[in-house]
Structure formats: C-alpha cells, structure tokens
A and B are shown apart, each in its own frame.
Chain A
Amino acid sequence: MSILRQRVLPGFGLSLGYALTYLSLIVLLPLAALAWKAVGMGASGWLQLLSAPRTLAALRLSLGGAVLAASINAVIGLLVGWVLVRYRFPGRRVFDALVDLPFALPTAVAGIALTTLYAPQGWLGRWLEPLGIQVAYTPLGVLVAMVFVGFPFVVRTLQPVLASLERDVEEAAESLGARRWQTFFRVILPLLAPTLLTGFALALARAVGEYGSVIFIAGNIPGRSEIAPLLIVQKLEQFDYAGAAALGAAMLLLSFVLLVLVALLQRWSQRWAESSR
C-alpha cells in the first residue's frame, strides 16, 4: 500500500506540498542567500574574520550568555509554572497574564527600561552599586536582558504538561516511601524533562538572536560586552556585506549545533515514550 493511502482527513499530498513550499520560501531561501553571500568571501577571509579576538569575544558572549540565560529561565520558569498551575491564590490570573509581557513589549522598550533600572543611579542599580555589582554596561546586563526576553517560553511550554501531570503518580511515590525531594527528582522532573528542554531550546534560540533589548543595557564595549548581532549590524553599516553574512552564517551554524544537542538530549529524556510495542 502506498504512503498516500486513504486517511481520515484527506489532502495529505496537498498539505505536505504546501508545508514544504512555505518552509522553503520563509526559512530556507533567506538562509541559502546568507550562505551564498558568505561563501563569496573565500576561506582566507573567513579565517581572518572568525579568528579576530573581537569576533570571538562577541560570539562567546552571545552563545554563552544565551545558554546561561536559558538555564536560569528553565529553573525559574519551572518554579513559576508550578506555582501558577498548582496553587490557587488571589491575583493568580493577573500574575499569569504578566508572564507574556516580555513577548508583547517592543524589545527596545524593554532594553531601555532595564537600563534605567540597573544604571548606577537607577532604582535597582543604586543598591547594587555599593555591593560592587554592576549590571548595566557589563556582560551581566546582557544576561539580564536575555533572561527577560526568554522568560515566557519555559513557563508557557510547561504549563499544560504540569496541569496534566496525574496526582496519583505522586501519591504512589509517597505511599512507596519516597520523601518529597525524592518524588520531585525521581518522578516529577523526569516526566517534565522533555518539555523543559523544549522551553530551554526556545529560550536559547531567542536569546542568541536577541538584539533590541540587549544593545541598550550592554554598553557595547568591544571585546567585553558586545554581542555578535551588533557586530553584524556594524559590518552592514560599513557596507561589509560579505563579512556580515559570514558572521551570520557562523552564528547560525553554532546555534544549529546547540539546538541539535538539545534535541538529542530531549530524545534521550523521553526514551520511555517512544515505542509502544
């Protein structure tokens, strides 16, 4: 029997064709153009660009900061999601709606707001400054902005899964003698892991590509608090299109490797759900 055999909902061929065409136009075509442009630069140009200390520092900050920010969001997002799903308290719906704000806010507004807060004279910066903690215009500021924009992903992906977790599984663990932390780490966390990793990957992707909010708080000191997307913009402003494309391609490749790693981890974490007979 062919793979196009009759299904409950017809139109497999049409919808597959449409999906692939759409994906090609929206995702693959721009990426192909980017790669084409980057290849035009030649191997020696690549090597020179990518080995420059300024480029390496920017890539390290962008990717390292993004991984760290996504990890922080995974922990805090799990906590917030848990509280929102498990407990009933006054103002829960308002709190729940607030989670989406980082999505809705224009990134520049978020960046300016964060900078105002964390600047040495700002509401929060004023208290952190004497402790020797400087947030604005440092790599720490980059991290804060990345955490902010990636926050909703983990909460929103976890919420439905948390809501569908069956209580009797926790009760079973308790009646078998497990303590609360054992129930959490041995039963609940493994069940949430695949979803947690999905949220992590989304937050990671968002943080890697984040531009608007970061550049306001980062201070953009070359080699210290300058992110890779900013470097690309600078190259564009100097009409160095090939360099911009090469840097973009490098970022793309590294992000892709990171996301593949997350996907592999995710697949391992749900090995139990894969085959039913």
Chain B
Amino acid sequence: MTLELSHLNRRFAGFSALDEVSLSIAPGEFLALLGPSGSGKTTLLRILAGLDYPDSGSVLKGEEDFLATPARERRIGMVFQHYALFRHLTVTENIAFGLRVRPWRTRPSRAKIHERVDRLLARVQLDGLGGRYPTQLSGGQRQRVALARALAVEPDLLLLDEPFGALDALVRVSLRRWLRELHEELKLTTVFVTHDQEEALELADRVAVMNQGRIEQVDTPEVIYHQPATPFVCEFIGKVNKFGVRRHAGGLAAGAWVCEGDPWPERYNAAWAYVRPEQLRLAVPPAQPAWDAWLRHIYLAGSVAHLDLHVPSLDQSLEADVASEDLARLGLQAGMRLRVAPRSAVLFAQDAGGHTVERERWIWHAQDRVHA
C-alpha cells in the first residue's frame, strides 16, 4: 500500500530538521534519501520507524494513520547505522528476537522459529555462524545479521539507516549489489538513508535529494543526474563546473562561448551554468565558439583521467573527465593548449540583484554533435 507523507515538519532546538516534506512511497519501490549531514534524512526515516514524531503533518498508509500506530505495530524492519545488535545474544537469538517477543497467541512455535532463522541465515549467507556472538563477526557479517533480524518479522517496509556507512570500500560495493539483488527477489518496499550519492544512484529506483530539511528533487537516478532540478542538486550530485553567463547579442555567453537559443528573452540577463566534467569537448574546431584553455595537470585515477583546465577568459579552472585510454589517442599532455566548449549545460537564471532564480531552469544541448 502506498505510503503518503504530507507536509511533515520537525524542529529541533534552533533548526528545522524537516520543513514541509511531502513524499509518496510506492509499494515495492527502493527509495534512497540522499543528502549531506543535517539535511533531515535520518529524521525522516526515524519518523517512518516510529522512533520520532513530526511537529505537524501526516503519514498515511492507505486509510491507516501511520503516526498513530506505535512503532512495534507498524510492521517495519529497521537496520540501524551501527547495527544495534544485541551483543549478549548469539546470531540466532538476535534474528529470532522479533519472533520471541510476540504474545504467545501470534508467536510461532519453537520449531517454526528455528526453521525461519535457518532460512534467513542461508539467505544472508551466514550459515553455520548462528552460534557466534556479534563481537565475533566482521563488520559486513554484522550488517547482514542486522538485516536478517529485521527481515525475520516479515515487515511491510524495510528501513535502512546509512547501511554501508561503517564498512570498508570493497565490502561496501559487494554488499550493496547483494542488497539490490535481494530487493529484486523480495520486492519489499525499502527506504534507505545515505550521504553517498554513488550508492544512492546505483541502488535506488528513485532518489529523494534532501537539503536543510527540504526535499529538493525526487526522481529516478537518471533524471537526478542529467536533469537536476535545483542548483543544490547540480552541485551535490556528481562533479560539476559552475560559471556565470551574461546576455550578449547572440544569446547567453561566457567568454568566447555562446549557447544558442534563449529561454528567457527580455526577462533575465544573467544565469549560472553547470557543466559536468564529461560534458566538456576538448578539441573544438576553430569555426565553432569555444574557450582557449591551458591544460595544467592530468590526474590519472584508474579508468578515468581528470583534466585540470585553466580558462583565462573565464578567469577560472574547469575540470574535464576523459577515459584514460583516450589520453594517448587525443595526444593530451600537461602544458598544451586546447579549445574547450560544453556539450550540454544546466542553466539557472539570475535576477537583477544577482540572486539565483531556482524555478527558472534551462537544459541546453549543443545542436551539432561533433565527436571530440
């Protein structure tokens, strides 16, 4: 059943953790709450879990008032950031906890509990470790015990708070692929909180980007990445080059580069342009408008090379990304001169006072596609 969150507000002493947050969560979807620390994402998750309550607003699950339901009756499974395993109980006892505390009328028999725990242990690939205590497990194993414990109560909604935050990079990547597969299999509505954009974009069906207690944009990872709704989303997701453009005879221009077309004739004379590093063309033919740039340094980071380009006419540096194997093909070397221009950009208008008008967004693409 769809979870409908509307106009949630939550204030802590002096700051607003949630500010008019509305969101609907479809059954079976995998939703990421992504934002920097203090953006309210964990508060939102805790409200769903029944561990915190909003000052105003409502959460409806179909007809049911979710906020009036106590945490233990919400049919949720929660995985905490630091796992919150019961360290005095074995892995088996941890997983069985949610079943054992049920009133005897709804509690499964010992044999049934045993059977379900065994099945969950197999599912999270911890067969044979049921007798261990949490202190005897590695971080990734503890994480999976926490997940099995949450799944044991057969929840309708799975909540994960920074599920991979405390793990090292290698375990993190393999565990999140595994979690995605598990989700495909169980089709369980899942909400997870993360500050890691790569994690959110890779795992989730939809991503809600949060900032200062508000949801800036909710959409699929592709749309979030390619059509960011606000300047914050542009800057928070992925890497981005930012520069100002002003109105000239031919359109909005920065230095020698002009972007054709004009969404705001006579209304705004300036805008901020955001260009992704992989959207910079590096060898633009002389006939087309471009900046003269000086390649200051090449940072080789495995499969990708980051180029540090200085553009005198903008008086700033831009970053461009190319595949490392293209370095030789393009004959790139530190110190050389290049003609550089964006392939696409996201622009936000600036009013006469220099303030960004967040509602006025324009996504611009170069009209003639030339391989560079």
Asked if A176 contacts B88 (CB within 8 A), the reply is no
**21 sample A-B contacts, Cβ–Cβ < 8 Å, listed by A number:** A168-B81, A171-B49, A171-B80, A172-B85, A172-B86, A172-B149, A173-B101, A174-B50, A175-B50, A175-B71, A175-B72, A176-B97, A176-B150, A177-B72, A177-B102, A177-B153, A178-B97, A182-B101, A186-B97, A186-B101, A273-B87
Chain A interface residue number, banded: 20 to 34
Asked if A168 contacts B136 (CB within 8 A), the reply is no
B155 nearest CB neighbor, chain A only: A175
A190 to B72, CA, bound (A): 21
Residues of B142-171 whose CB lies within 8 A of A: 149-150, 153
Q: Is A272 an interface residue (CB 8 A)?
A: yes
Residues of B12-59 whose CB lies within 8 A of A: 49-51
Asked if B86 contacts A169 (CB within 8 A), the reply is yes
Q: Is A164 an interface residue (CB 8 A)?
A: no
The 4 closest A-B pairs by CB, nearest first: A176-B98, A168-B84, A172-B84, A178-B101
Q: What B residues does A186 contact at CB under 8 A? A: 97, 101
A140 to B268, CA, bound (A): 89
Q: What A residues does B50 contact at CB under 8 A? A: 174-175
Q: What A residues does B89 contact at CB under 8 A? A: 190, 272
Q: Is A277 an interface residue (CB 8 A)?
A: yes
Q: Which of B80, B84, B133, B150 has the most CB of A within 10 A?
A: B84
Q: Is A191 an interface residue (CB 8 A)?
A: yes
Q: A190-B88, A191-B88, A272-B87 are in contact. Are A176 and B101 (CB under 8 A)?
A: yes
Q: A171-B84, A177-B153 are in contact. Are A276 and B135 (CB under 8 A)?
A: yes
A243-277 contact mask (Cβ, 8 Å, vs B): 1 or 0: 00000000000000000000000000010110111
Q: What B residues does A272 contact at CB under 8 A? A: 87-90, 133, 135
The residue from B74, B87, B101, B136 contacting A277, defined by CB atoms under 8 A apart: B136
Q: What A residues does B82 contact at CB under 8 A? A: 166, 168
A166 nearest CB neighbor, chain B only: B84
Q: Is B5 an interface residue (CB 8 A)?
A: no
Q: What B residues does A191 contact at CB under 8 A? A: 87-88
Chain B residues near A (Cβ < 8 Å): 49-51, 71-74, 76-78, 80-82, 84-90, 97-98, 101-102, 133, 135-136, 149-150, 153
Q: What A residues does B150 contact at CB under 8 A? A: 176
B159 nearest CB neighbor, chain A only: A175
Q: Is A187 an interface residue (CB 8 A)?
A: yes
Q: Interface majority SS on B: helix, strand, loop or mixed?
A: loop
A170 nearest CB neighbor, chain B only: B84
Asked if A174 contacts B133 (CB within 8 A), the reply is no
A191 to B: closest C-beta gap in Å: 6
Asked if B101 contacts A177 (CB within 8 A), the reply is yes
Q: Is A5 an interface residue (CB 8 A)?
A: no
Asked if B84 contacts A178 (CB within 8 A), the reply is no
Q: Which of B76, B101, B133 has the most CB of A within 10 A?
A: B101
Q: What A residues does B87 contact at CB under 8 A? A: 191, 272-273
A169 nearest CB neighbor, chain B only: B84
A171 nearest CB neighbor, chain B only: B51
A178 to B89, CA, bound (A): 15
A190 to B97, CA, bound (A): 14
Q: Is A179 an interface residue (CB 8 A)?
A: yes
Q: What B residues does A173 contact at CB under 8 A? A: 86, 97, 101
Q: What B residues does A273 contact at CB under 8 A? A: 87-88, 133, 135
B81 to A: closest C-beta gap in Å: 8
A276 to B81, CA, bound (A): 22
Asked if B136 contacts A174 (CB within 8 A), the reply is no
A187 nearest CB neighbor, chain B only: B86
A136-169 contact mask (Cβ, 8 Å, vs B): 1 or 0: 0000000000000000000000000000001011
Q: What A residues does B97 contact at CB under 8 A? A: 173, 176, 178, 186
A188 to B: closest C-beta gap in Å: 10
Asked if A175 contacts B136 (CB within 8 A), the reply is no
A174 to B52, CA, bound (A): 12
Q: What B residues does A270 contact at CB under 8 A? A: 88
Asked if A177 contacts B98 (CB within 8 A), the reply is yes
A186 to B80, CA, bound (A): 19
Q: A168-B80, A169-B86, A273-B135 are in contact. Are A175 and B101 (CB under 8 A)?
A: no
Asked if A179 contacts B101 (CB within 8 A), the reply is yes
A273 to B136, CA, bound (A): 9
Knowing that A169-B84, A169-B85 are A-B contacts, what are 17 other residue pairs whose CB atoms are under 8 Å apart, sorted by A's residue number?
A: A166-B84, A168-B82, A168-B84, A171-B84, A172-B80, A173-B97, A174-B71, A175-B72, A175-B77, A177-B73, A177-B153, A182-B101, A186-B101, A272-B133, A273-B88, A273-B135, A275-B136
A277 nearest CB neighbor, chain B only: B136
B49 nearest CB neighbor, chain A only: A175
Q: What A residues does B51 contact at CB under 8 A? A: 171, 174-175
A124 to B229, CA, bound (A): 74
B341 to A: closest C-beta gap in Å: 51
Q: Which of A168, A172, A186 has the most CB of B within 10 A?
A: A172
B132 nearest CB neighbor, chain A only: A277
